[in-house]
Amino acid sequence: MPSAMSAQDVNLSLLAIKGDALLRELNQLRAYDPIYWSEESHCWIITGHAEVTEGFSGSLPISSHAFPEMLYNIMPAVEADVRLVNSVYYMQKISTNLDGAEHARVRGLLVKALNRKLVESLRPYVRNRISVLLDKAARLEELEFHESISRMLPGAVILRLLGLPEEFLPRLKGWSDGVTTALTSFNPEPAWLDQLEVVVADMLDVFRKEIESRRRFPKEDFITQLIGAVDGDARLSEDEMLATLIQVIIAGHDSTTNSLTLGIRALAQYPAAWRYWRSHPEKSLECSIELMRYIAMSAAMFRIVAEDFEWKGHRMKKGDVLMLMIAGGNRDPGLYKNPETLDFARENNDRALMFGPGLHHCIGHLLAKLQVSEFFNAVVQRFDGVEILEEPQFTPGLIFRSVQGLKLHFMPRQDAKGV
């Protein structure tokens, strides 16, 4: 039942809210009503764990095909289809924007391509990369963590996954920034969309050449796996492969980068959690899941109402926008005891939402878990803690909670085990 709080007590607009204020706002909205229509944001804001889970389940008449419909609310279709021709065409083919049989076909092939064996083959490289980065961190009294450490791990891993050389790292950052700035905002500026088109065109140029190269000279990488993925008579078209590679840049780079930055910030605030992880390295996966739940990097996903229906007393109309607030569901006190705390001893994190339950469960979840668990296990074993020297600046956006910068100092471990 809604709380006694009135609608006037709730800041209705999520557009300008960022950082930890967003999490506090979602708590208020959930207490008032977990299914809430915001006139100011002009969308449904879904904040309860049960409701967000149902929204992802595929049981409701809501569509993942939010692109380019969301774009057309900002820029007229006749203009967008010309001005953003590549963006409109390829973003529609990304698996997270597909529904029904088409989604099932593409997803089935992607699961075959990004399989556990391929991900596990990256573990030695991930561990070595982490070791090199932490050697660097240990030498510095003051470290800008976000760009020099956080971005350098997933960036290098994505390039390794794709079979691209590390010389692409600066270009990769440009791609990621261009895509996420435009697509993770509720109301992107026209200039951001123009830059999106620039970086999409650049990615297409690179990836077309790489696909052609793998057809002639296969490698042990994801692009080769995409080409070879077969399910009966089904294969991915080249356009679907190109869309998938763009998706990898969106979902696999910036998201993990921000998870590492927000994660180290959270561990700095919870020394007991740091010590718990150090004492229980066998629970690194479970600890990483709780850490990702708590930091709420993955904040939301868009959905579109496909036909009129009633949901728990609320009338949904065709074309309405739904914001499934993963960050809200993951801090629902109806499921989690003391949800505002980081607790590595939790036993119900199999229901955490950051990778999306249901039909659109994140295909890259194994790769993200590998990096987060390996990185923080190495950190807590090697150091006694971190001192935050300057808090990060959060950037606007509702899909990911993204930051700019984080200055800190790693405190060396005082016993020989950390050497």
Three-state DSSP state, 53: helix
DSSP assignment letter at 350 = G
> pLDDT by residue (tens digit) across 255-298?
999 999 999 999 999 999 999 999 999 999 999 999 999 999 99
> Can you state the percent helix, strand and coil of the chain, rounding each to 5?
55, 10, 30
Three-state DSSP state, 195: helix
Residue 298's CB: how many other CB atoms inside 10 A?
Answer: 25
pLDDT < 70 stretches in the chain: 1-17, 185-186, 416-419
The pLDDT value recorded for residue 252 is: 84
For the full predicted model, state whether its pTM sits above 0.75: yes
> pLDDT by residue (tens digit) across 296-353?
999 999 899 999 999 999 999 999 999 999 999 999 999 999 999 999 999 877 899 9
Burial of 39 from C-beta contacts in 10 A (0-12 / 13-18 / 19+): exposed
**Whole-number percent of the chain with pLDDT over 70:** 95
DSSP alpha helix (H) spans, 296-395? 326-329, 365-382
Interacting residues of 117 by C-beta distance below 8 A, sequence separation 6+: none
CA-to-CA distance for 291 and 296, rounded, in angstroms? 9
Conformation bin of residue 313: beta by default, left when phi > 0, alpha when psi is -120 to 50: left
Considering Cα of 322, then 325, then 328, then 329, what sign does the dihedral take? positive
Q: What angle do CA 12, 14, 18 make, to 5 degrees?
A: 135
CA-to-CA distance for 216 and 195, rounded, in angstroms? 32
Strands (DSSP E) along 212-369, which ranges?
Answer: 301-305, 309-311, 314-316, 321-324
Interacting residues of 368 by C-beta distance below 8 A, sequence separation 6+: 252, 255, 256, 259, 355, 362
The pLDDT value recorded for residue 253 is: 87
Q: Taking each helix axis as running N to C, give the angle between helix 365-382 and helix 255-269, from 0 to 180 degrees, rounded to the nearest 10.
A: 30
Q: Beta strand 43-46 with 321-324: parallel, antiparallel or unpaired?
A: parallel
Greatest CA separation for the chain: 66
Sheet holding 62-63, edge to edge: 35-38, 43-46, 321-324, 301-305, 62-63
Residues making up the chain, counted from first to last? 419
The pLDDT value recorded for residue 203 is: 96
Q: Beta strand 309-311 with 62-63: parallel, antiparallel or unpaired?
A: unpaired
Q: Which residue has the tokens 């990185």?
A: 375
Q: Taking each helix axis as running N to C, give the angle between helix 152-162 and helix 169-183, from 0 to 180 degrees, rounded to the nearest 10.
A: 100
- Look up residue 271 and give its two tokens: 């020394």
- CATH superfamily entry for domain 32-411: Cytochrome P450 (1.10.630.10)
Domain spans of the chain? Answer: 32-411
CA-to-CA distance for 268 and 271, rounded, in angstroms? 6
